[in-house]
Amino acid sequence: MAHTVTFIPGDGTGPELAEATRRVLEATGVEFEWDRQEAGVDEFEAHGNPFPDATLASIKANGVGIKGPTTTPVGSGFRSINVLLRKELDLYACIRPCKAYPGVRTRFPDTDLVIVRENTEDLYAGIEFEQGTPENAQLRAALAALGAHVRDDAGLSVKPISVFGSERIVRAAFDYARENGRHKVTAAHKANIMKFSDGLFLEVARRVAEEYTDIEFEDRIIDNLCNQLVSRPEEYDVVVLPNLYGDIVSDLGAGLIGGLGLAPGANIGTEAAVFEATHGSAPKYKGQNRVNPTALMLSGVLMLRHLNETEAADRLEGAIAEVIRKGEKVTYDLKPTRDDPSAVGTSEFADAVIEEMQS
Ligand code: NAD
């Protein structure tokens, strides 16, 4: 039976990446019924709403979606569609595998770690009070009454980290480790400084870890983790982090494995899962058939695994890895120099992956 999946091309380079991904997914032989929905800047400009209700309703109904990146205008316009999506669907776990495939130029060829990022809390919760507003003054007054004095020209962002949120993300990390043959979970935090937010996260992580005696557990202070990741990434396996650290370390992880064009992701909740690359819409390359579709294709591999299409997932991942290993029909970012004339486009990369699957 065909899998009905919400298909969101996004904006910027999103539509060309999504099209390349759709083609390789179909070439696995797995049957899909794509429920195409819009989101992003183009949709905002055409109809005044970057994230139509129909798009959300479609993911809710189908339970699975794959999404190209969408632009978030800085400082004005609208709030991030990605943040809205994660909130509305309670997609609390962001899973980002960072694996260095042979053939990729990286100083860390043995990297094979998985970042598990909490997606709903922390400084990303959007609880902010602009400097100079009455609400900001009210909050500062309440803080002052509690003995916490903040300059009156300060903007305020609140960092909530709950027992509930920490418990379910740490559990997601251990469950992922178990289901995917991983042996260690590392929890990252800054509990020495933020005792009641990161400290709580660490305390909960230690408690949950006691239930998973088959998986090793350790913790790292976030700055130390960053240092170690760029020295000895092969020592890390599954790394679980609160939202903001998870965001930053995801890009660090993408750097370790050869760039943003290679880093996939999955946003998982109890009712739905949305698969998307770690990178953004790279708008300066829009419409040029130039950027690397690997990250979104590998997000498609994660989707196939989620749909229990394991054999197709292995085959697609193997074909992508082989195209990268051969290094011929790859995009500019995987060539020795960025202006290498032998680089192929987004669509030709997809052709090469399809050819590899059929060989
Ligand atoms: P970006 O990830 O879009 O691009 C940064 C640079 O990384 C690009 O200029 C390019 O050099 C490189 N790059 C990214 N993807 C690539 C690919 N597939 N192949 C080859 N090179 C690639 O980051 P940005 O410029 O900071 O963000 C652009 C927009 O995307 C912003 O509006 C941001 O908010 C949004 N964004 C969206 C998502 C999402 O939809 N999930 C995620 C991150 C950022």
- Paired sense of beta strands 128-129 and 112-118, if any: unpaired
Among 147, 207, 143, 208, CA closest to 173: 208
Query: Quick check: is 67 catalytic?
Result: no
Q: Is the dihedral of CA 15, 334, 298, 253 positive or negative?
A: negative
Among 306, 308, 301, 277, CA closest to 357: 301
User: 282: Cβ below 6 Å to ligand 1?
Assistant: yes
Distances (CA, A) of 267 to 65, 132, 214, 349: 10, 36, 26, 25
| pLDDT tens sequence across 270-284 | 999 999 999 999 999
Torsion, Cα 147 245 214 180, to 10 degrees, reads 150
Confidence label for 252 from pLDDT (cuts 50, 70 and 90): very high
Å from CA of 195 to ligand 1 middle: 33
Please state whether 276 falls in left (phi above 0), alpha (psi between -120 and 50) or beta.
Answer: beta
Confidence label for 1 from pLDDT (cuts 50, 70 and 90): confident
Atom 30, ligand 1: residue with shortest CA distance: 280
Lowest mean pLDDT among 121-130, 147-156, 200-209, 313-322: 121-130
Query: Quick check: is 124 catalytic?
Result: yes
Amino acid of residue 24 = V
User: 260: Cβ below 6 Å to ligand 1?
Assistant: yes
Query: Quick check: is 122 catalytic?
Result: no
Question: What's the whole-number mean pLDDT along residues 75-98?
Answer: 87
- Output the DSSP codes for 170-207: HHHHHHHHHHTT--EEEEEE-TTT-TTTHHHHHHHHHH
User: 42: Cβ below 6 Å to ligand 1?
Assistant: no
For residue 135, with 0-12 CB atoms within 10 Å meaning exposed, 13-18 middle and 19 or more buried, which class applies?
Answer: exposed
For residue 358, with 0-12 CB atoms within 10 Å meaning exposed, 13-18 middle and 19 or more buried, which class applies?
Answer: exposed
| pLDDT tens sequence across 11-60 | 999 999 999 999 999 999 999 999 999 999 999 999 988 999 999 999 99
Query: Quick check: is 223 catalytic?
Result: yes
pLDDT surpassing 80 at residue 302: yes
Confidence label for 75 from pLDDT (cuts 50, 70 and 90): low
Q: Give the SS3 label for residue 34.
A: strand
